[in-house]
Chains A and B, each alone.
Chain A
Amino acid sequence: MGTGLALYHMLLSSTVKANVLSSLKLMGKGMLGVFIVMLLIYLVVVILNKTSGSKENKK
C-alpha cells in the first residue's frame, strides 16, 4: 500500500494531482447537479400528471 502511494506521488506531477482532485470535485458536484435537475423535473411532471390529467379527464 505504502509502495503504491509512493509510486502514485512519484508518477504524478503536482499539476496532474491538482487536476485529478479538481475532477473528483467536478464529478461530485456535476452528478449532484444533474440529479437535482432531473429530480425537480420528475417532481414537476408527477404534479402536472396528477393535476392536469384529472382536470382534462373531467372535461
Chain B
Amino acid sequence: MSEMVLMKGNEAMSEAAIKCGCRYYFGYPITPQNEIAEYMAARMPQAGGFSLQAESEIAAINMVLGASAAGARVFTSSSSPGISLKTEGISYIAGSDLPCVIANVQRGGPGLGGIQPAQSDYHQATKAMGHGDMRLIVLAPNSVQEIAEHTVLAFDLADLYRTPVMILTDGALGQMMEPVDFGKLKINKPPEKTWAAAGHSDKRPPNIINSLYLDPKDLEAAVLERYKNKYNIIDEKEVRYEEFDTEDADIVIVSYGIVSRIAKVAVNMLKDKGVKAGYFRPVTLSPFPSGRLGEIAETAKRFLVSELNMGQMTDDVRLAAGCKKPVDFFGRTGGIITTPEEIYNAAAKVLEE
C-alpha cells in the first residue's frame, strides 16, 4: 500500500529508522541535520521509543555504544564537525563488533567550515572513520525516497555483519523535500542478539563487549578474523552501484549522492551533442565498486569524477581503472553546488584534449 508523503530527507531518514524498529536515538544539535534530532524528540515517545539530546557528539556515540551493546537497534546523526568528534566511539564500536547506524549530513569543511552542502568527508567516511584497522559500510543515497530505503538497509546490514553503517548525505539531500513512499520499505525483523550485555539471568556465562587485546597475537587474530569473516564478505556481497551507457563510452561521469542527479543531466546534455557519454554512480562508497569500474575501464575511453569536494574519490576511481584510462576531476567545494553546465563543460574540455 502506498504511504506517500512529502518530507525532507532528514525527516524521511528519521521516520524510516522508526519504521524498521529503531527505538533509541542519541544526538546533539548541529546544522544541517537538526531535523533528525527534532523529529526523533517528537516521534520516539509516540512510538514507545527513547530520544535523548546528549551533552556532546562524543557522549551521544557512547550512548549508542551502550544501547547497541545492550542489544537495541540504535541510531545517531550529525554533520561533519560532529562526526569528527564521534570517530573515537565509532572505532570502539567497530572494535567491539557492535551494530549501529550513523548519519553524516555533510557540510563544508575543514574546521567549522560552513553549513552548506558538501561531500568533503568522503575520505573520512571511507578510509578514516576511526583509529585502527577498521571500516564501515558507507551508503550514499541520492533522493529522499532512497534515504528512507537506505536507512532500512543500513539497520539490516549493521545487524547482519555486526558493524557500524554510515548513511552519507549532505545538506541538500537532508533539507530538500520530495515525495517518499514508506509503503515501499521492506522491513525485516532484527536477528536475535545472543551476544548482548543485558544481564545473564544466571542462565549463561557473562557476555563481555570489549575491544582490548593486550597480547599482540590476540589482537592480530581478532583483526584477521574481522577481515576474513566480515570485511571480505562485505566486499564480495554488498557492493552496490548504478550505471547506464558505460560500455564503449567516450567518457564516463562518476559521481554519488546529490551530484549524481546533476551529473545525470550533464550526461544527457553530452548525449544531445552526440558524445557517447556514460553514467556511473557508486551507491556503496564502502565497499567501493572497484570491480565493475575496472571492467568499464576495459571499453570506456576515459572517466570524469565529479564531487562536492577537491576530488577525494578520484584516487579510488584511478585505482579501480588500473591506470588503463585517464581519470579527470571536476568539482566545487565549500558549500557550492555544481551545475549540470559546469560538469558538461568540464567533460567537453577533457574530450578536446
Pairing of A with B: no
